[in-house]
Amino acid sequence: MTGSEHRTLVLGGARSGKSAHAEGLLPWEGAATYVATARRDPRDEEWNRRIADHVARRSPNWETVEAPQPDGLVDLLDNARATDPPILVDDLATWLTGALDDAGAWERDASALATVRGQRDELVRACESCSAPLVLVSAEVGLGVVPESRAGRLFRDELGALNAGLAEVCDGALLLVAGLPLRLR
C-alpha cells in the first residue's frame, strides 16, 4: 500500500493475479490480517486445493480469519483501529456468494435480496469507516458476456453494484488484466 492510500480495491477476472498482487501490497515481514472469505466444502477436493494454494502463499506473520459470515466481516472492519496492522479481504465475490446462499436469494426473492443488499450496504459503510489500512479483492465481472442463467445474471448485477460502491469509498483502485495492474484511481 502506498502512503496516500488507506483503502485499496483490487479487481480482476479469474486467474488474473488479483489476489497475489493484493498480497504484495502487504508487508511480508510485518503483521497483517488476511480475511479469507471462501467457505470450505469437504466434498469439493478441487476447491479445497485452490484454498490450500492461497494459504501456502501467505506470510507466516499474517493472522488469517477464515470465512466470516457477512455480519462478521462488517464487525471485523468496524472494530479495526488505526494502530492495527493492514487488513486484506480476499475476496468479495465469494463473500457475496455466501451472502446470497445464506439469504436464499438465488431465485430473486424480494425479501432475500433486500437482506443481501442491506449487507452489501453495511459492508461498503464498514469499509469506508475502517480505521486500519485496508486492501479489498474482488472479481470484475460483466465485461460483455450476459450469463444464460438467472442466478448468473443476479450474481453479475449484485457484484457489479458491490464493486461500484466499494470503488466510491476507496482511495485507490486497480484492475488486474493478464497479471498486469492497471491503475483506475
Domain boundaries, the chain: 7-183
pLDDT at 4: 63
pLDDT at 129: 96
Distances (CA, A) of 40 to 59, 148, 167: 21, 27, 28
pLDDT at 18: 94
Exposed/middle/buried for residue 147 (C-beta within 10 Å: 0-12, 13-18, 19+): middle
Report pTM: 0.92
Binding site for GTP: residue ranges? 12-19, 36-38, 66, 90
Catalytic residue among 5, 48, 51, 54: 54
Low-confidence stretches of the chain (pLDDT beneath 70): 1-4
Torsion sign over Cα 53, 17, 63, 168: negative
Identify the CATH assignment for 7-183 out of 3.40.50.300, 2.130.10.10, 1.10.579.10, 3.30.230.10. 3.40.50.300
Binding site: residue ranges? 12-19, 36-38, 66, 90
Pair 7, 165: CB distance under 8 Å: no
- For the question of residue 54 being annotated catalytic, the response is yes
- Closest by CA position to 31, among listed 61, 74, 65, 69: 61
pLDDT at 91: 93
